[in-house]
A and B are shown apart, each in its own frame.
Chain A
Amino acid sequence: MSQLAIEAPLERLPLSQTIDKELWIRRLLIGLVCLWMLVVVILPIFQLLSKSLMDNAGNFVGFANYVHYFKTPALSNSIGNSLFVSILTTLIAVGLGFLYAYALTRTTIPGKAFFKGLAMMPLFAPTLLNGISLVYLFGRKGLFTTGFFGTIPGFDIHLYGPVGIIISEVLFAFPQAVLILSIALNMTDARLYEASDSLGASKIKTFFTVTIPGIKYGLISAVFVCFILAFTDFGAPKVVGGNFNILSTDIYKQVIGQQNFVMGAVVSVVLLIPTVIAFIVDRIVQRKQVAIIAAKSVPLIPKPERLKDTLFLTYCAFIALLIVGFYSTSLFASLVKVWPYKLNLGFWHYNFSDMGGGGYAAFFNSIRMAFYSAAFGTVITFSAAYLIEKSRQMRVLREISYFLSILPLALPGLVIGLSYIFFFNAKGWSIAGMFIPNPLGFLYATMGILVMSNIVHFYSVSFLTATTALKQLDKEFEIVSESMGVPFYKTFVCVTVPVCMPAILEIAMYYFVNSMATVSAVIFLYSANLPLASVAVANMDDAGDIAPACAMSILIVLANLLARMLFGLATKGVKNEPRPGW
């Protein structure tokens, strides 16, 4: 701060001129943010929609494709299947997540940090790994099905189909539910409980009249987030879905299996409708939220209660055991020579040389891609959030930008990937008889498009994290700097960025981890020159090489854990509260 004060007088420009110039820079930058969101979100989606109204040769056919879709029960049955598995997943994940979050926030059980960390494990893995682990646990030759290779009586849960999909999606959605609900449960006022208690309300009554209403919005958010995750994921269903078709695997089958892009576009639009509805409803509901925490609020400090604590500790230990068991099984399976016949351990499956998918080249490409996504994504997201949050001009444009920035939350990765193929591979567009060549075509099949798709795919959560962090910063900084004639970008670099460092690092890690693990968007965009680890997992699974696919997933998890540890070191000593979406 002292530097700023000393430096400010060195500026040669007259004050008014500086402010004037600054205003224009700001306007330009906000305009750029809007343009960026337009190019990377709106135009590709528009291209996808228009593609779904054309035939394979590119002639306009109106809704013919949709009519065909709904007339083909084989295709349209998937809608019901998708809804079925995602609703069930949501109920289970939110239920389990609520109990877990409750234990972490409202009881005095020991080892909360450990339990919380462990619950986040599934975020580090590609969802394909959830499916693969299930095969090793409950497939026909799984540990449980064979009763640990015949040592105890086995049982068959008929994994392939809805059962497998639901288990893996619950695992996938669980950490998100825990995070959202923990934050909601943390934000409460102890006085409400005291009042309830002194009015003689029973514990159960207090639970339903105080606890549940208090976390209403968090609960609704958790429901929508889990629903969207389960509805749009395709990694796990691809592995354990068997012949149970759902929308996301249909898109994959149509586009990758049969290169029927038009039908892929139609299914994508069908997939998009419920997610957009969920997104809009959630937005409307969240708007009604009023601050529960007032200045006079008293944080609720849970009191030890023997029975309650024991029950919740048992529950958390049980869930933790499941998660540990789950991933240990896949680690073990990746080291076994021939499951289930030759159980000697070694690194056979970590040699990807005679496998499809790209092997270690793919792995290092993924690391590069995740690194670029983290670097560029963080810079873009944080700068955009800053401009939108901390500017006072161009209100309308900023509001539009804000909406565009949270819109990607409603976009499934598969939809992003497919719309990017259509948009960036288009030769150009004829508008009013004029042919406009595509200026962005050069990005197709490059690292650039992969990084861009990741930035967009994970934009909203990062953006919200940045906005939350920025909101905690006093507006005074801007006002003081401005009155002293310090350009805003100086304030940004010297004050805002350093103060928000924990949030910035968190955004970077979020981008890195997700870019490593994601399959859905990049599976349409990678090229033969640029194989990726997560796509290699999908391809090896397709070819039936499930053990190497498992091994590659383990490498992805390890890379992510390493990134997470570096993040831990980097933020050491900085108190860092998790934010929504983590």
Chain B
Amino acid sequence: MLEKFTVIRGRAVPLRGEDIDTDRIIPARFMKALTFEGLGQYLFYDERFDEKGNPKPHPLNDPRYRGATILLVESGFGSGSSREHAPQAIKRAGFKAIIGESFAEIFFGNATAIGLPCVSLSPEDLGVLFRMVEENPELEVEVDLVNQEVRFGDRTAPLFIREEAREALVEGLWDPIGELLEAGELLDQFDRKLPYPRRTE
């Protein structure tokens, strides 16, 4: 039985920057592995550490945000490479949800499929949330996928997420493998019907 994501509560870490690509989220050299294990420690590695491995100023290195479980981002987050390593690294670093203005297509799908909700706020609401979290790292943020709103301080902001993804997260259907397998015999019909490449020489 998959987890049903209804309300996610926690402190948030504000990560500013537009169009942050998946190479930045997880640099390619950390993908040389046969599993996703341990990826969390390399999250945003080149932004957080210099070439000698010393920490640089970065929200994820800021002790005030230690233990935050919600990642706050701007627009176009997760562009570029389709590497699932990116949402895997975020999830394995302890994040339970991402709030932003918009997300790259493949990143959004990958995150949803591993149970990492990505929700959007209007630029205005997102701006307010950023400022409030920057001023008060202790601020409690609630992502409510059922009522489709994000609550923080005395504010309630409507959240946006593709309805199919919301449904999948709330109903515990975000990993579709079980349901895909149920198609059974129907799959064989498609395999017989649709051509596939066959060596002809």
B and A form one assembly: no
